Structure 1
């Protein structure tokens, strides 16, 4: 999101519908996301699609982007699967001056750290998300990953070798443990669905932030969580926010 877009978003981002009706400012919302834990942030159409024209960004609007920016700016680390990084065209992870001030007040580094998840290491080490990152990124992969790809990515990131999870991919629990061992208590993931599936399957996800975009997408977009065995996993609604017809729900997994 550009600075111009941020400037166009009002100081009061949302009306809070639950638990107590009222207006929520950007500062108040950012403060709530400083709570430690593993939190996901995803946008979906009201008919359940995660993408429009192959990208989650096609479902978003300036207020949803402002919310995404606030959630990111409160995180110690941004955990993202390689497929999502490629599809969404991620650049270097950084926050703006206001976010930097909030982070310094909370004792955090100036910018969140990117943690890319990939078993195959199909990542472009020359991309701006690595080369221009203000904080040295992490790459979480599995033992047995291609040595030449490990060596190439070690030029631009800290590569962490983890035991494979079920199916041979990166274990969600092992990824979270590796981040916490490096002092990252506030972990935000933006998916994709396979990474969320690994986190859910291993009980490594604490909260889900879900933006309900007021559109019907149709098509064949994927579900939010893929790969986790079918089971009822209960969640508690922590808050419900509204901006025009956009809803943002915060759920705590119980």
Structure 2
């Protein structure tokens, strides 16, 4: 966000009154005591369905989207991403203000949530911001075939965990979520990319989707927010709808 965060206001569609930035964390609170995990996806799309602009999702955002993005991160126990998203978006660790840290402490959470990366190969560059611009080491959830080599390459920069389940050459999402739950990381925020979201949808592991619709058309070959080998029909129920003064829509769905 740029400027004073309090300058961003949201309209609750179908209701009177406005919602300020400070009210977002209450609006987007996770369910009480999720078991084993509550998996929330957060994605942005253009009006014509493009998930990126200029190759990055950040190219679609504005102040309101960044405010929602920050609020969702503040509420999460862990941020779940794929290795391709880490590389494309140049991910770093989560950065929070003193007020955000205090709010997390009051909720019984750690001050800063770790980034958990799903990667079958474990191939991540040691000099990536993910490992050096962070307060907490990331979790690298990889396959049993790659775990030893990944651990040697990354040294003490991250915690490398076998999350392959019964598939030694791949990462099993249920195993990965079990790994997170065993560490008390039950409020999961999945930030992409489309392949990871597609896998979560395919295996019926996505509980909630927060979708920002940017008031732009991008055309071209921009990917969708969900990708995968086959069609998966997942009914959703609209739980929340907000708008801001820039014309962005913020929709929150849960599985029916």
TM score, norm. by length of structure 2? 0.90
Provide the rounded CA distance (Å) in 2 between the counterparts of 1:69 and 1:165: 36
The answer (yes or no) to whether the contact 1:94–1:112 under 8 Å persists in 2 is no
Map residues 103-118 of structure 1 onto 2, 5 A cutoff.
Answer: 103-118=104-119
Structure 1 stretch displaced more, 95-104 or 167-176:
167-176
What are the superposed Cα offsets for residues 182-232 of structure 1, whole Å, 9 maximum, x if unpaired?
A: 101211011001111111111111000000000000010111111263132
Select the residue among 3, 6, 9 that pairs with 1:10.
6
**Is the alpha carbon distance of 1:199 and 1:165 closer, same or farther for their aligned partners in structure 2, counting shifts above 3 Å?**
farther
CA contact (8 A) 1:73 1:99 kept: yes
Q: Secondary structure at the match of 1:71?
A: helix
The answer to whether the 8 Å contact 1:93/1:129 transfers is: no
State the partner residue of 2:35: none
**Cα separation, 2, equivalents of 1:25 and 1:228:** 40
Can you give the 5+ residue segments of structure 1 that lack an aligned partner in the other structure?
none
Q: How many Å apart are 1:51 and its aligned residue?
A: 0.6
Per the TM alignment, residue 93 of structure 1 is displaced from its structure 2 partner at its CA by 1.5
SS where residue 24 of structure 2 aligns?
Answer: helix
Question: Mapping of 1:131-170 within 5 angstroms?
Answer: 131-145=132-146, 147-163=148-164, 169-170=170-171
Separation of aligned partners in 2, 1:56 and 1:44: 8
Q: 1:31 to 1:168 in 2, by over 3 A?
A: farther
Task: Kindly indicate whether the alpha-carbon contact (under 8 Å) linking 2:150 and 2:160 is maintained by their aligned counterparts in 1.
Answer: no
Alignment of 1:1-254 (within 5 A): 1=1, 5=2, 7-10=3-6, 13-18=9-14, 20-36=15-31, 37-145=38-146, 147-163=148-164, 169-227=170-228, 229-244=230-245, 245-254=247-256
Alpha-carbon distance, 1:66 to partner: 1.4
Which consecutive residues of structure 2, in runs of 5 or more, have no partner in the other structure? 32-37
May I ask how many residue pairs the two structures share in their alignment? 249
Distance 1:167 1:155 in 2: 24
| C-alpha contact 1:172 1:195 (8 A) present in aligned 2 | no
- Decide which moves more: 22-31 or 41-50: 22-31
What's the CA shift for 1:124?
1.5
Aligned-pair RMSD on alpha carbons?
A: 2.0
- Using the size of structure 1 for normalisation, the TM-score is 0.91
Q: Is the 8 A contact 1:207 1:251 kept in 2?
A: yes
Secondary structure of residue in 1 paired with 2:93: coil
Judge conservation of contact 1:34–1:186 (CA < 8 Å) in 2.
no
CA distance in 2, matches of 1:227, 1:59: 22
Higher alpha-carbon deviation: 174-183 or 30-39: 30-39
